[in-house]
Structure 1
Amino acid sequence: MNTLPYARSKNRIVELMEQPAERRDADWMRDAAQQAILLELATLPPYLCGMWSIDTSTGDGSVLRALREIVFDEMSHFGLACNLLTTLGGTPALDDASVVPTYPGPLPGGVRPELTVFLSGLTTDAAEMYSLIEQPDQPLAKVAAPHPSIGAFYTALLEAFRAHPERITGARQLTLHFGHGAGNPVVSLATLAAVEKAIGVIKEQGEGTSASPENPHPGAAGELAHYYAFREIFHKRRLRKNPGTGKFEFTGAEIPMPDTLPMGIVPAGGWPRTGPSAPDAGTTQLLDEFNQAYSKLLRLLQDAWRRDDAGEAEGFLFEAIAQMSVLQDPAQQLMARPLPGGGKNYGPEFLYVTP
């Protein structure tokens, strides 16, 4: 089992991308796969906060369904990224506060450095931020950003796999089917063909393709890639292809923003625990309960992909899946508690804490 001490640089992906192809050795690939795990992990807290904030008793549910589909996709991407690392003989690192993404802050590794990722309820600003996370280098409905995308990073990792397929060991591969049309399955990556397909799923579900904004690996026909689904929520309009120009534009049917719990933006380091703006004892208990549950989830996921015994690994994975369901209740209870001064409410901090 490889125990490579992954670099902790905040710009690690940028540094990895700067390495010429001939210097992308096995350690480079394992380091890159660890960064891919952190990227996939970093998307889940903001998307979950947006989804959990939606009032399910009002509206047509279309925005909630879109967010739910994306969350399950990102969970499968996280699992595939873990399989990318372990097939290279590496081991995921998730039980360290210096590694786990924090908010507000940049995406891991220096991807999209102009972007600040934050935790809040679903708002127009949040939808804009979600879409910028997923934005491809050549979007069909927006001017390209000046910095490499997540997709460009995955392309570089894929090129390294293609150059060195002998590094694929098939070690400690976990599989998972979410069921009910939710997300793509997490599959074993023991061959180059499987690696190519997995990276294709991660890239194209997030960014679409150069020819279409649709997700080519959908849970439902016509489902959009994440970038375009988020842009629809931001524009409050369906994406349609202009028959005259052939361009994709947000000119379709209206998409009303659903009613939400008004979760405020979590400040750096979490909500203050002391001073005049300190929460009451009940709110503090909920904040701590959520952080402990989230941290336990990360440790269970790490243990699942570190076990050589397949039965033990599967047991940790199923325990992690059960642990995921523990997060929603304290999160939504927090979103119903007003912050001092009114106007906005608390919400989960997603802070890693040691047991």
Structure 2
Amino acid sequence: MNSENREKIIQELQEKLIVTIELEHSTIPPYLYAYWSVKDRSSETARVLLEVAKEEMMHMAMACNILHATGGTLKCNHPGFIPDYPCALPGHSKTQTPFIVGLRKLSLLSIVTFLEIERPRAANPLVKLNKPGTNKPIDAGWETIADFYMEITALIAKLDDSDFQKGRQLNNTDKPDNSGILFAVQSKADALKCVAEIIEQGEGFGFQDADSEESHFYRFVDIYRKMGGTGKIEDGIFNANELRDTYDKNVYAEFEKQIIHLVPNPREDKYSTEAYEWQNKRFNSIYSRMLDDLCSGMLMDNPEIGGAIKAMFALGRHADAIMSIPAWREVETAHFGPSFEYLEPGERI
């Protein structure tokens, strides 16, 4: 391969990796919002939501390592890095109607959206990772996240080990519990291993072996069933509208008693109060500083990601302060939630 073609492949790979990092990050606030709405944070349902959010943070870091290894860079501390919920996810296909992701309490609506996010890439969930994918133009977008990662795999496969030895690497020697393993990318094999782990943890290739951890998709299926959902899900194939409308009403009514009724997409809410505005600004100030620290860490030699992950999930106590504020509603139990917005340094408290 001549140098011109190699540079084009590296550039396309870097562009896709930047979208990937934005995409992985954009799933974390919805997962955390749902997690914080669960009254019993020690429950299995809450544990799954928190672990998935932590793993999404690790996926973001893995994609950063591949990007850095190719000499690419990313700035993540600016307002445009955080989606304006509700929204389509970054990079979603322009050829089909995207599903909309918002900040919502845990419910049938939100869990089915999570299933759409983590939908497996093929009708046959045991499709092999190393099967070459079709390399679509950069602006074509993804139909499933796993499809997008297969495009990245195809680009990585065209490069050499020497193309992955150019940049600093994030690490997590200070490991938060259950956050996963983050390793350095110093070869093509390392980059492919990163992508394989992201796909397996996220969408998966079907039900995992008995001794393997289940993918995010099938863990969300379990939550859907616990809610009383009875819709058909077979080998990762499902109809989202059917899943939302097909459930045992009695089981779901009992499940809802375990959930705090949070205002959906609080940035859009017209019933804001002074108390909420202050607590939400405090939350967003801390969240913005965490993104600043994460972005600064990406620019350091041998940066440490564990502290940033811990900071992300220490936001819970600030979210709880917001959630203690009642929101005016016909339903008296409604409460506000954090809006997840980036604030410039001069806007923070």
TM-score (norm 1): 0.76
CA distance in 2, matches of 1:147, 1:91: 22
Asked if residue 329 in structure 1 is aligned to residue 317 in structure 2, the reply is: yes
Q: Deviations over 1:86-143 (max 9, x none)?
A: 11111122122123222000000124742100001111111011110111222569xx
CA distance in 2, matches of 1:77, 1:123: 25
Pairing partner for 1:257 from 231, 242, 255: 255
Q: Say if 1:318 and 1:24 are closer, same or farther in 2 by CA, change over 3 A.
A: same
CA distance in 1, matches of 2:287, 2:176: 25
CA distance in 2, matches of 1:265, 1:140: 35
Asked if residue 229 in structure 1 is aligned to residue 211 in structure 2, the reply is: no
Asked if residue 279 in structure 1 is aligned to residue 279 in structure 2, the reply is: no
CA distance in 2, matches of 1:140, 1:232: 20
Name the SS of the counterpart of 1:25 in structure 2. helix
**Aligned amino acid, residue 49 of structure 2:** L
Partner residue in 2 for 1:14: none
Assess if the C-alpha contact under 8 Å between 1:50 and 1:121 holds in 2: yes
Percent same amino acid at aligned positions? Answer: 25
Partner residue in 1 for 2:298: 305
Assess if the C-alpha contact under 8 Å between 1:293 and 1:326 holds in 2: no
Shift in Å at residue 40 of structure 1?
A: 0.6
Identify the range of structure 1 (159-168 vs 336-345) with the bigger mean alpha-carbon deviation. 336-345
* Paired residue total: 305
Asked if residue 164 in structure 1 is aligned to residue 159 in structure 2, the reply is: yes
Q: Say if 1:152 and 1:338 are closer, same or farther in 2 by CA, change over 3 A.
A: same
Pairing partner for 1:353 from 336, 343, 346: 343
Assess if the C-alpha contact under 8 Å between 2:172 and 2:306 holds in 1: no
Shift in Å at residue 340 of structure 1?
A: 1.9
Name the SS of the counterpart of 1:262 in structure 2. coil
Q: Say if 1:178 and 1:105 are closer, same or farther in 2 by CA, change over 3 A.
A: farther
Partner residue in 2 for 1:6: none
Identify the range of structure 1 (157-166 vs 121-130) with the bigger mean alpha-carbon deviation. 157-166
Pairing partner for 1:122 from 76, 84, 106: 106
Partner residue in 2 for 1:266: 265
Q: Say if 1:156 and 1:247 are closer, same or farther in 2 by CA, change over 3 A.
A: closer
Assess if the C-alpha contact under 8 Å between 2:119 and 2:217 holds in 1: yes
**Aligned amino acid, residue 233 of structure 1:** I
Assess if the C-alpha contact under 8 Å between 2:174 and 2:307 holds in 1: no
Shift in Å at residue 28 of structure 1?
A: 1.4
Partner residue in 2 for 1:89: 71
Partner residue in 1 for 2:40: 56
CA distance in 2, matches of 1:94, 1:248: 32
Partner residue in 2 for 1:77: 59
CA distance in 1, matches of 2:299, 2:116: 32
Superposed CA RMSD in Å reads 3.2
CA distance in 1, matches of 2:263, 2:326: 9
Shift in Å at residue 294 of structure 1?
A: 1.1
Shift in Å at residue 333 of structure 1?
A: 2.1
Partner residue in 1 for 2:129: none
Name the SS of the counterpart of 1:51 in structure 2. helix
